Amino acid sequence: MVVNPKGRCQCKDDGVKFIPPKRIEKIEVYPPSSSCQHMEIIVILKESGGQKCLNPESRFAKNLIKNAQKE
Amino acid sequence: MVVNPKGRCQCKDDGVKFIPPKRIEKIEVYPPSSSCQHMEIIVILKESGGQKCLNPESRFAKNLIKNAQKE
């Protein structure tokens, strides 16, 4: 669940561990900052345009970004 | 320079090779898609809110995302 009150983390929980790649429109990576001490990854979905928090620690998240860089 | 006509890549050139991390608000990673065959990284800057294309092949880009995942 993504909430975005200024000055707090955007993801209320750890986020999902997997999102089917073909559903991914865009990946937003928020480095740690004064408003949120840990990195957050928010995935924008293709059809619905909805947003999902992706658990940065999940193997999927790590592979997703590593593979995206190999293209 | 970021342009965003639907159905084409958003970055007109390879993008910059370095952006001071403390200027980074958010990193947007666009996986390859039907509208653009290669991955694109667009960095949203803190103060100006401006956008810069970051060269995905640059060492900085690769380290940026790798380090962001270690936090």
Supply the CATH classification number for the domain B21-70. 2.40.50.40
Diameter over CA atoms, chain A: 35
pLDDT at A1 over 60: no
Domain residue spans of chain A: 21-70
- Residue B32's pLDDT is 87
pLDDT at B61 over 70: yes
3-state helix, strand, coil split of chain B in percent (to 5) is 20, 30, 50
B12-34 pLDDT per residue, tens: 988 999 999 889 999 999 988 88
3-state secondary structure of B23: helix
A22-57 pLDDT per residue, tens: 899 999 999 888 889 888 999 999 988 899 999 988
Share of chain B above pLDDT 70, in %: 80
Cβ-contact A39, A56 below 8 angstroms:
yes
Q: Is B45 on the interface with A (CB under 8 A)?
A: no
Q: Is A24 on the interface with B (CB under 8 A)?
A: yes
With contacts defined as CB-CB under 8 Å, which chain B residues touch A61?
69
ipTM, 2 dp: 0.74
Q: Which residue has the tokens 């200027």?
A: B23
What is the nearest CA distance from A37 to chain B, expressed in angstroms?
9
Q: Is A47 on the interface with B (CB under 8 A)?
A: no
> What are phi and psi for residue A42, nearest 5 degrees?
-115, 125
Q: pLDDT averaged over chain B?
A: 84
